Amino acid sequence: MRILHSEADVARRVDALAAEIAGAMPKDFLMAPVLTGAFVFAADLLRALHRLGCDPFVDFVQLSSYGGARASSGVVTLLKDFSVPLEGRSVLLIDDVLDTGRSLHFAKNMVLDRGAKEAKIGVLVRKATGHSADIKADFIGFEAKGDDFIVGYGMDDDGRTRGLPYIGVVE
């Protein structure tokens, strides 16, 4: 494995993203991490937002399109739904990777269909791929080459490597 972004680089970028988000989102926004990959990133981002005086409401949604594989199946499945009403809220979806865009496209449409005032997207890593779904991230931590299989900092290889404190590339 090769380290793509060190633990210190990730911490600095999360702090910078928190500042971008704090300046762009209303005070009462809903932060919605997409499980399972985004939980590490979302926890650190939430603490960084708190240091800036932000205290978003947090609720989780869980989606699956990989099913243990290294490539998306193309079918998005809702595994855990939101537990709060979304109507009239500003929602910030947080995900680990924007790759094909299918999961985030699904999530954003679901949030807007349920009456959210707005739905924005923050991702730790945007892969330089031909995104199959027409989806754009509003807040981006890092860029990665499309053919890199990245792990760590919440991102996994069939359930493992989520606990790495850095972002690495499986070689």
Residue-wise pLDDT for 20-61, tens only, equals: 999 999 999 999 999 989 999 999 999 999 999 999 999 999
Instruction: Work out how many domains the chain is built from and give that number.
Output: 1
Is 99 among the residues known to form the active site?
Answer: yes
Which phi and psi (to 5°) does residue 126 adopt?
A: -110, 125
Tokens of 143: 């860029």
Q: Full-prediction pTM beyond 0.85?
A: yes
> Is 80 exceeded by the pLDDT of residue 118?
yes
Choose, from 81, 99, 134, 138, the residue flagged as catalytic. Answer: 99
Domain boundaries, position 108: 2-170
CATH number at residue 76: 3.40.50.2020
C-beta contacts of 67-73 below 8 A and 24+ residues apart: 68/158, 68/159, 70/149, 70/157, 72/99, 72/100, 72/102, 72/103
Query: 156 versus 69: which is more confidently predicted?
Result: 156
pLDDT digits (tens, 9 = 90+) for 63-106: 987 555 445 556 888 999 999 999 999 999 999 999 888 899 99
Q: What phi, psi does 64 have (nearest 5°)?
A: -140, 135
